[in-house]
Structure 1
Amino acid sequence: MGAAGAHLVRLVYIDRIAIVMAFLAVPASSVRPRPASEQGGMLLVSGGRRHVNRLDTQASIRSMGFKLPVVPEISPVSFCGRELVDSRPLLVATRVGFAARGVMYLLVAYFALTFGLAQDGSEALEHLESGLGRVLLGIMALGFAAYGVWRLLEAFMDSAGHGTSAKGLAKRIGGGVSGLIHLGLSFSACKLALGLGAEGGDSTEAGASTALGMAGGEWALGIAAVAVMAVGLYQFVSAIKLGFLKHLEPRVAGKAWIKWAGRAGFAARGVVFVLVGIFFWRAMITESAAQAGGMGDAIAALPATAQTVVAAGLLMFGIFSLIEARYRSIDNPARSGR
Structure 2
Amino acid sequence: MSTDNTWLEKLTRAGFIGYGIVHLLFAYVVVRIALGRPAADGDQSGAMQKLAESPFGAALIVVIVIGLAAMALWQVLEIFEPRRPWERVASAGRAAFYLYLGWNGVKVLRGKPASSADTQQNAAEGLLGSDLGRFAVLAAGVVVAGIGVGLAVAGLTKRFERHLRVSRMSRATRDLLRRLGEVGFTTKGIAYGIAGALFIVAAVQYDPDKARGLDAALRTLAAETYGTWLLLLVALGFLAYGLFSMAEARYRKI
TM-score (norm 1): 0.64
Shift of 1:86: 5.8
1:299 aligns with 2:218: yes
How far apart are the structure 2 equivalents of 1:178 and 1:229? 15
1:320 aligns with 2:240: no
Shift of 1:278: 0.6
Residue pair 1:229, 1:277 contacting (<8 A) in 2 also: yes
Alignment of 1:195-234 (within 5 A): 196-199=111-114, 202-212=118-128, 216-234=132-150
Runs of 4+ more than 6 Å apart: none
RMSD: 2.5
How far apart are the structure 1 equivalents of 2:218 and 2:33? 13
Residue equivalent to 2:93: 177
How far apart are the structure 1 equivalents of 2:7 and 2:68? 14
Structure 1 regions of 5+ residues with no counterpart? 1-81, 331-338
Determine which structure has the larger helix proportion and give its number.
2
* Amino acid in the other structure paired with 1:197: K
Residue pair 2:147, 2:189 contacting (<8 A) in 1 also: yes
How far apart are the structure 1 equivalents of 2:241 and 2:82? 22
Residue equivalent to 1:87: 5
Alignment of 1:242-261 (within 5 A): 242-250=158-166, 251-252=168-169, 254=171, 255-261=174-180
TM-score (norm 2): 0.83
How far apart are the structure 2 equivalents of 1:160 and 1:192? 37
How far apart are the structure 1 equivalents of 2:127 and 2:176? 42
Residue pair 1:253, 1:259 contacting (<8 A) in 2 also: no
Instruction: Say which of 126, 137, 141 aligns to 2:61.
Output: 137
How far apart are the structure 2 equivalents of 1:214 and 1:152? 34
Residue equivalent to 2:43: 120
Deviations 1:286-327 (CA, angstroms, capped at 9, x unpaired): 233222022222122222221111110110000000001121
How far apart are the structure 2 equivalents of 1:286 and 1:253? 52
* CA distance 1:269–1:253, shift in 2 (3 Å): farther
* Amino acid in the other structure paired with 1:112: V
Residue pair 1:233, 1:270 contacting (<8 A) in 2 also: yes
Structure 2 regions of 5+ residues with no counterpart? 222-226
How far apart are the structure 1 equivalents of 2:82 and 2:6? 18
Residue pair 1:174, 1:231 contacting (<8 A) in 2 also: no
What SS class does the counterpart of residue 310 from structure 1 fall into?
Answer: helix
What SS class does the counterpart of residue 94 from structure 1 fall into?
Answer: helix
* CA distance 1:193–1:277, shift in 2 (3 Å): same
How far apart are the structure 1 equivalents of 2:114 and 2:23? 20
How far apart are the structure 2 equivalents of 1:248 and 1:307? 29
Higher relative contact order (CA 8 A, sep 6+): 2
Residue equivalent to 1:286: 205
Shift of 1:91: 2.2
* CA distance 1:202–1:114, shift in 2 (3 Å): closer
What SS class does the counterpart of residue 169 from structure 2 fall into?
Answer: helix
Residue pair 1:135, 1:193 contacting (<8 A) in 2 also: no
Q: Which has the larger radius of gyration?
A: 1
Instruction: Say which of 222, 225, 239 aligns to 2:155.
Output: 239
1:262 aligns with 2:178: no
How far apart are the structure 2 equivalents of 1:102 and 1:160? 29
Residue equivalent to 1:101: 19
How far apart are the structure 1 equivalents of 2:131 and 2:77? 29
* Amino acid in the other structure paired with 1:218: R
* Amino acid in the other structure paired with 2:45: S
Alignment of 1:39-118 (within 5 A): 87-113=5-31, 116=34, 117=38
Residue pair 1:102, 1:320 contacting (<8 A) in 2 also: yes
* Amino acid in the other structure paired with 1:306: L
